[in-house]
Amino acid sequence: MVGVEPKTVERWLSNPDRAPRESTQEEADRALGVDPVTLWPKSVRSHVKTGHDREIVAAYPFRSAAPTSLWASLIDGASQTLTFAGYTNYFLWQQHPRLGTRLAAKAKHGTRVRFLVGDPESEVTTKREEVEGVPLTVSTRIRITLDALAKMGRHEGVEARFSDQHIALSVFMFDDQMLVTPHIASLLGDESPTFHIRRLEDDGLYDRFAGHVTSLWEDGRPVEA
């Protein structure tokens, strides 16, 4: 019906990344009576020239559902800036072996590494501990991050600051990509949704979240050695 060989169609079916040229897509859409995004979701997204949602690479219902390999590849692949703006950043040290050594090596080669953490002594932290009600408290998780940073020693390009204003939103930036977790009510970070975002336009999703982090960083209080 669309003028292609059956083997060509088999290749479309066996490889979701493969799609025919646009005119053939349109003919197949008409023949089957379906919307193009149903048949060629990746192809359609890659050709959309408007719409801010094209910056969303993937969405996960839980942060824990985002593969550890994804985090590792983003951390290892960044060469300019790495920003960890989670309130505790505790999970990073548990999931990524020798993270401190890896970050120190990156800083040595010119990567800017920043940690924005909550103040373990603040009222915001205390209230959050009451909400969560778990044995491994927020302040303890923050201190684990501070201890890990202290064990890294002093490295030019590695900085840490306190902020209480990102208690409900974690943003992790890796050059032109980021992972964003909006925290839901009393749920822990691992139980909240996470979005993988790639910068594709000015003042898009990436830039909005990046601007948020920049503002918090500028207002943050330096973490003393």
Report, as an integer, the average pLDDT of 173-184.
95
pLDDT band at 225 (very low <50, low <70, confident <90, very high): low
Render the burial of 139-168: b for 16+ CB within 10 Å, e for the rest: bebbbbbbebbeebeebebbbbbbbbebbe
What mean pLDDT is reported for the chain?
89
CA–CA separation, 152 and 178 (whole Å)? 24
Does the pLDDT at position 34 exceed 70? no
pLDDT band at 21 (very low <50, low <70, confident <90, very high): confident
pLDDT for 112 equals 97
Does the pLDDT at position 12 exceed 90? no
What is the per-residue pLDDT across 40-95, written as a single tens digit (0 to 9) for each?
Answer: 666 665 555 456 788 999 999 999 999 999 999 999 999 999 999 999 999 999 99
Candidate from 7-16, 75-84, 105-114, 147-156 with smallest mean pLDDT? 7-16
Angle value at C-alpha 110, between 107 and 116, nearest 5 degrees = 50
pLDDT for 218 equals 96
Detail the DSSP E strand segments found in 44-201: 56-60, 81-85, 112-117, 158-162, 169-174, 177-182, 194-198
Q: Which two tokens stand for residue 224?
A: 């003393």
Model's pTM, two decimal places?
A: 0.77
What is the per-residue pLDDT across 113-145, written as a single tens digit (0 to 9) for each?
Answer: 999 999 999 999 999 999 888 899 999 999 999
Q: Which two tokens stand for residue 112?
A: 């800017």
